Amino acid sequence: MALDLSTWTRPDRGALFVITGASGTGKTTLVKKALQVIPELGFSVSATTRPERVGEKDGEDYHFVDQARFAELVDGGQMLEWAEVYGNRYGTPRAPVDAALAGGRSILLEIDQQGARQVRAAMADAISIFVLPPSFDALERRLRRRATDSEAVIARRLSEARLQIEHCGEFDYLVVNDDLSSAHDQFQAVIVAELRRRSRLDSLVRRFVAGAEDPATPVV
């Protein structure tokens, strides 16, 4: 049954959700759906040193910066995580994430397990979710059904998947994507439950306590 979020109380402080899973586990599908249905949930825009491609927009697809600026961000502790891939650097700027969380909005960050480890080191209260396949055999079938990759690419993706999945025990929550509808429910339930924590709703507590102490005070 789908979550009914037609009424929603904004938390005093948002949460940073770090999402990891091997290629083919469906993590991107789960993330996109959650962004559509959960209020005030956003996706982190990464910074990169690679050139802007046709159709991309700075600030929407990526924050495009040069190597010198990227190095400044890293050296200044302004990156939650970063990595170099084929000579280009990619990373998550900290300032937009901090601003969103302080305003009660939450952020989804979809990265690999190495990046997730960096984020957890930088922000101890980040909530990590690992998306698992029902089995390695099922994962291989999914990769083959794509019919877009060569045997060599499939073998590499499976090898990388095994390496990533070895670290799933480091994460706060595990979601097994066997049945997609159920996986959506589990994934969204984790996010909503974390955002309903009492520690994120002090203002709501104060409002109700004030109403209980003074019967004339309306609780709205």
Token output for 152: 């060599």
Q: What is the pLDDT of residue 219?
A: 47
Q: What is the pLDDT of residue 65?
A: 95
DSSP 8-state assignment for residue 22:
-
Q: Are strands 16-21 and 106-110 parallel, antiparallel or unpaired?
A: parallel
pLDDT tens profile 17-65: 999 998 889 999 999 999 999 999 999 999 999 999 999 999 989 999 9
Q: Range with the lowest mean pLDDT among 54-68, 94-108, 112-126, 142-156?
A: 142-156
Question: In Å, how far are 22, 111, 137, 187 from 159, measured between CA atoms?
Answer: 10, 18, 13, 25
Question: Which whole number is the average pLDDT over 102-131?
Answer: 95
pLDDT tens profile 130-174: 999 999 998 888 888 877 778 888 888 889 889 889 999 999 999
Token output for 70: 């990227």
Average pLDDT, the chain: 90
Domains delineated in the chain: 16-198 (3.40.50.300)
The helices-and-strands tally (H runs, E runs) of the chain is 8, 9
